[in-house]
Structure 1
Amino acid sequence: MRKKEYNVSVVIPNYNGEKFIAQAIECILAQNVSSLIELIIVDDASTDNSVNLIEEKIRDITWAKLVSLKINVGRSKARNLGVAVSKYSLILFLDNDDLLPSDYIKNLLNLANITKLIEIVIAGQKNYFLDGEYGLRGPLEIHDSSLESILLGKFFVPTGFMISKNIFEELEGFDALLHEREDWDFASKLCIAGYSIIASDMPVWVRLHQNNNSKNHERFISATLKVHERLATYFKITGDKKMHAKLCSYTASQIARRPVKLALRFCGLKIAFKALFIDIRVSIGQSIFFTIARLLIRMTIRNKNT
Structure 2
Amino acid sequence: MRVSIIIPVFNKASYIKETLESALGQTYSNIEIILVNDGSTDGSFEILKAYVEKFPDRVLLIDQENQGVSTATNIGIQAAKGEYIQFLDADDLISPDKIEKQIQLLSGISIKTIATCEWVNFKNDIQGNTNVPYGVFRDFDSGLNLLLRFWNEQEMMQPAAYLTHRSLIDKAGPWDESLTINQDGEFFTRVLVNAEQVLYEAQGKVYYRSPGESNVSQQKSERAMKSLLESYRCYEKEVLKIEDSERVRIALKKVYQKFVYDVYPQYPDLIKKAESLMDSLGVREKTYTGGPKFQQLSKILGFKNALRVKRCLG
Q: Above 0.5 in TM-score?
A: yes
| 8 A contact 2:113–2:197 mirrored in 1 | yes
1:250 to 255, 262, 266: 255
| 8 A contact 1:217–1:259 mirrored in 2 | no
Q: Please say if 1:20 is aligned against 2:20.
A: no
The alpha-carbon deviation at position 16 of structure 1 amounts to 1.1
User: Separation in 1 of the partners of 2:167 and 2:105?
Assistant: 19
| 8 A contact 1:127–1:204 mirrored in 2 | yes
The alpha-carbon deviation at position 40 of structure 1 amounts to 0.8
User: Separation in 2 of the partners of 1:203 and 1:141?
Assistant: 15
Identity of aligned residues (%): 19
Tell me the equivalent position of 2:189.
188
User: Separation in 1 of the partners of 2:216 and 2:196?
Assistant: 27
Counterpart AA for 1:159: A
Counterpart AA for 2:220: H
Q: Please say if 1:58 is aligned against 2:52.
A: yes
The alpha-carbon deviation at position 265 of structure 1 amounts to 3.4
1:93 to 78, 87, 95: 87
Calculate the aligned-residue CA RMSD, in Å: 2.9
Alpha-carbon displacement from aligned partner over 1:97-126 (angstroms, at most 9, x marks no partner):
11011111111111112x623442222222
User: Separation in 1 of the partners of 2:195 and 2:208?
Assistant: 28
The 3 A distance-change label for structure 1 pair 242 and 22 is same
Tell me the equivalent position of 1:162.
163
Tell me the equivalent position of 1:126.
119
Q: Please say if 1:265 is aligned against 2:269.
A: yes
Q: Which runs of 5+ in 2 are unaligned?
A: 279-287, 298-314
Aligned partner of residue 135 in structure 1, secondary structure: helix
User: Separation in 2 of the partners of 1:74 and 1:268?
Assistant: 29
Tell me the equivalent position of 2:109.
116
Alpha-carbon displacement from aligned partner over 1:165-185 (angstroms, at most 9, x marks no partner):
222112213222223222222
The alpha-carbon deviation at position 284 of structure 1 amounts to 8.3
Q: Which runs of 5+ in 1 are unaligned?
A: 1-5, 287-306
| 8 A contact 1:9–1:91 mirrored in 2 | yes
| 8 A contact 1:129–1:207 mirrored in 2 | yes
Tell me the equivalent position of 1:173.
174
Aligned partner of residue 128 in structure 2, secondary structure: coil
Tell me the equivalent position of 2:230.
226
Aligned partner of residue 35 in structure 2, secondary structure: strand
1:136 to 122, 125, 128: 128
Counterpart AA for 1:257: D
1:208 to 210, 217, 220: 210
Tell me the equivalent position of 2:303.
none
User: Separation in 2 of the partners of 1:149 and 1:37?
Assistant: 27
Normalising by structure 1, we get a TM-score of 0.78
Tell me the equivalent position of 1:296.
none
| 8 A contact 1:42–1:82 mirrored in 2 | yes
The alpha-carbon deviation at position 30 of structure 1 amounts to 1.2
| 8 A contact 1:125–1:142 mirrored in 2 | no
User: Separation in 2 of the partners of 1:279 and 1:109?
Assistant: 37
User: Separation in 2 of the partners of 1:284 and 1:194?
Assistant: 32
User: Separation in 2 of the partners of 1:212 and 1:27?
Assistant: 26
Normalising by structure 2, we get a TM-score of 0.76
